[in-house]
Amino acid sequence: MRALFSYGLAFMILLLAGGWLATGTLVQGGQGPGKGEKPIVSVLEGEEHGPLATALGDAGVLAEHHKPEVDPTLTIAQRNEATTGAAAPLQSVRVQTFVAKPMAIEVPLRGRTQAKATVTAVAETAGTIDVVHVTRGQQVNVGDKLCTLDQGTRAAAVAQAEAGLATAQAALAQAQLNYDTNTDLRSRGLAAANTAQSVEVALAQAKAGVSQAQAGLDNAKAELDRTEIVAKVAGLVQSPLADAGAMLAAGQPCATIVQLNPIVFTGMVPEAHIGLAKLGLAASVTTVTGQTVEGKVTYISSVADNATRAFPAEIELPNADYSIRDGVTAQAVVKIGTAPGQLLPQSVLTLDDEGVLGVRTVENGVVAFYPIQIVSDTRDGVWVTGLPISADVITVGQENVTAGQHVDASPTAEKTETTAG
């Protein structure tokens, strides 16, 4: 009997505890205030307002659930302001005014230097080399002697041609005299009219003889001049260079001249920038040896390279002292023009919630975010575009605020005036 009483008492206690728990609340974590709270009886019945939950609610024993009056997405400071009515202190930031200035738009190119031309001085007549007047690496100008060939009988041929010209000229003088005399006699009736033709023919033949003799002399002199091989361009003598005593046929090289003034920088313009490339644009070329020289774009190919899809281009550079050599690796900066931009310190650059690079500014006490594009990186900072003409950029505290937030902005100790350095 006592055991039955004990079991009955325990069962009654269990029923009372279950009823009490059924009137309570089940809270599921991780869903935010007001979103994870449910009556236990609703969980047991499988619906929000079942018969048991309704009966307990009518009896006044079911716990009441109220949604939070404060927006759970607000910050702690904003919740305090909403619940207490007292305004939270504004976030303090430091700002600096940056005004847009003319910014140089430059396109970098990588390439190498190249001689403007490589000219081979060849023999125009056959002959043995008597003298080589130059050495490898020697600087020559237009008209300087390179090689002298054996004249052979060419000087005698010139003398013979000169004598032939003198004979032809004497014959012409005699024919002219005969023609004048015949004309005078015919005018006085002392010579027959049919004699005019013979003297005219003789005079024409004499003139032709003089022309032929002159041409022979010119050819003889030209052949003699061809024994002197001279430079047609200015530059430096390079291999191959003939040796004295060698036999040269017509067309064989005496010396090779590399034209280094002006010298040419050859590079490739990416297809993304080909629309900006134009002939005559100023460019600055710096070689790996530390030489820097200014030049202009003289050639842009109309056909892209099949492998790189870039366009070959050339920049002509002055090189009067021949200090820049052929084949040196170099980098060119082509100056496309100017555009308004700001020179900012790298420390003010930041990312928004989506990972976009930009700058936070303050406009009328409210934070604004501007995406920017970096045009060039210098020792003084980065040139960027995308900001208003004048912008109050947050320099201290930009990581602690978001766009649309009211802030207490104060200027930095010094205001920097950006220039197009």
Which CATH number belongs to the domain containing residue 196 in this structure? Answer: 1.10.287
**Residues 156 and 221 grouped into a single domain:** yes
Count the domains in the chain. 4
287-305 pLDDT per residue, tens = 999 999 999 999 999 999 8
For residues 328-356, average pLDDT: 88
46-79 pLDDT per residue, tens = 566 666 566 656 665 555 555 555 565 555 556 6
Q: What is the pLDDT of residue 317?
A: 94
Q: What is the pLDDT of residue 71?
A: 61
Q: What is the pLDDT of residue 11?
A: 61
Residue 296 in domain: yes
- Write the CB contacts of 278 (distance below 8 Å, at least 6 apart in sequence): 297, 300
At 184, the pLDDT band (50, 70, 90 cuts) reads confident
Distances (CA, A) of 406 to 92, 93, 208, 356, 403: 10, 10, 105, 22, 9
Determine if the peptide bond prior to 411 is cis (ω within 30°).
no
Final residue of a domain: which of 38, 59, 88? 88
Residue 118 in domain: no
For residues 260-284, average pLDDT: 88
Comparison of pLDDT for 30 and 180, the residue scoring more: 180
Percent of all residues in the chain with a pLDDT value above 70, rounded to a whole number:
77
Phi-psi sector, 283: left (phi>0), alpha (psi -120 to 50), beta: beta
Q: What is the pLDDT of residue 359?
A: 93
Residue the block writes with tokens 């899809």: 309
For residues 389-409, average pLDDT: 89
Partners of residue 384 on adjacent β-strands = 342, 374
At 186, the pLDDT band (50, 70, 90 cuts) reads confident
- Give the span between the Cα atoms of 248 and 123, in whole angstroms: 7
**Residues 343 and 303 grouped into a single domain:** no
Q: Which CATH number does the domain housing residue 333 bear?
A: 2.40.30.170
At 374, the pLDDT band (50, 70, 90 cuts) reads confident
Q: What is the pLDDT of residue 308?
A: 87
**Residues 323 and 364 grouped into a single domain:** no
**Residues 83 and 6 grouped into a single domain:** yes
Residue 385 in domain: yes
**Residues 355 and 331 grouped into a single domain:** no
- Write the CB contacts of 232 (distance below 8 Å, at least 6 apart in sequence): 119, 121, 142, 257
Residue 277 in domain: yes
At 264, the pLDDT band (50, 70, 90 cuts) reads very high
Final residue of a domain: which of 323, 338, 353? 338
The helix (H) or strand (E) run that includes residue 403 is none
- Give the span between the Cα atoms of 396 and 408, in whole angstroms: 12
**Residues 321 and 346 grouped into a single domain:** no
**Residues 189 and 260 grouped into a single domain:** no
**Residues 315 and 343 grouped into a single domain:** no
**Residues 8 and 83 grouped into a single domain:** yes
- What average pLDDT does the chain have? 82
Final residue of a domain: which of 338, 356, 381? 338
Q: What is the pLDDT of residue 340?
A: 86
- The answer to whether residue 17 scores a pLDDT higher than 60 is no
- The answer to whether residue 371 scores a pLDDT higher than 90 is yes
Residue 346 in domain: yes
At 420, the pLDDT band (50, 70, 90 cuts) reads very low
Residue 403 in domain: yes
Domain of residue 2 covers 1-88
Of 113-117, 140-144, 205-209, 269-273, give the lowest mean pLDDT range.
269-273
Q: What is the pLDDT of residue 145?
A: 92
**Residues 159 and 220 grouped into a single domain:** yes
Q: What is the pLDDT of residue 291?
A: 92
First to last CA, the chain: 105
- The answer to whether residue 414 scores a pLDDT higher than 70 is no
Residue 246 in domain: no
At 415, the pLDDT band (50, 70, 90 cuts) reads very low
- The answer to whether residue 259 scores a pLDDT higher than 60 is yes
Helix, strand, coil proportions of the chain in percent (round to 5)?
30, 35, 35
**Residues 345 and 311 grouped into a single domain:** no
- The answer to whether residue 385 scores a pLDDT higher than 70 is yes
**Residues 74 and 98 grouped into a single domain:** no
Q: Which CATH number does the domain housing residue 355 bear?
A: 2.40.420.20
For residues 232-243, average pLDDT: 90
Residue 238 in domain: no
